[in-house]
Amino acid sequence: MSDIPKPKILIVDDEPENIRVLAILLRGKYTATAVTSGFKALEQAVSETARPDLILLDVMMPEMDGYEVCRRLKSDERTRGIPVIFITAMGEVENETLGFQVGATDYITKPFHPAVVEARVRTHIFPYLKDFS
């Protein structure tokens, strides 16, 4: 079992504390990396060696917001299959609806519950394991 590589999660957030909390939460089960901008997220998503299996994406970031990052990911055939879960303080119905309209797989509002994040990440990375848990 140790020969199987851990799934790669890319955390995209401009707040170091949010990155730290998510990285600690995912430690052990996943290989988590983080970037602090949408541009860096797009670069990493197309990387042959660092392409993530799932992206945890904040909405409110300078230069390029998470909605635009998601739009670009979903419009590129190399990255459109990567599940994107928004993790954001923007909890209004309109925000969540827009997240799904631009291609998000899921939407989690802050403050989040660690067990919910873990369950949703697992669900979207290992959809075939749901019936065996």
pLDDT of residue 130: 40
Tokens of 68: 């635009």
111, with CB counted inside 10 A (0-12, 13-18, 19+), is: exposed
Omega before 83 cis (within 30°)?
no
pLDDT of residue 3: 65
**Predicted confidence band of residue 127 (pLDDT cuts 50, 70, 90):** low
What is the domain extent for residue 50?
A: 8-126
39, with CB counted inside 10 A (0-12, 13-18, 19+), is: middle
pLDDT over threshold 70, residue 9: yes
For the residues 36-60, what does the mean pLDDT come to?
Answer: 95
Q: Where are the alpha helices (DSSP H) in the chain?
A: 16-26, 38-45, 66-75, 93-101, 114-125
Segment 13-24, tens digit of pLDDT: 999 999 999 999
In a domain, 37, yes or no: yes
Taking the CA atoms of 38, 84, 89 and 115 in sequence, report the sign of the dihedral they define.
negative
In a domain, 131, yes or no: no
pLDDT of residue 132: 35
Q: Give the domain CATH number at 65.
A: 3.40.50.2300
Computed over every residue of the chain, the mean pLDDT equals 91
In a domain, 1, yes or no: no
In the chain, the number of structural domains is 1
Q: How far apart are CA 98 and CA 81, in angstroms?
A: 19
Q: How far apart are CA 74 and CA 84, in angstroms?
A: 9
Segment 87-111, tens digit of pLDDT: 999 989 999 999 999 999 999 999 9
Task: For the beta carbon of residue 20, count every other beta carbon within 10 angstroms.
Answer: 13
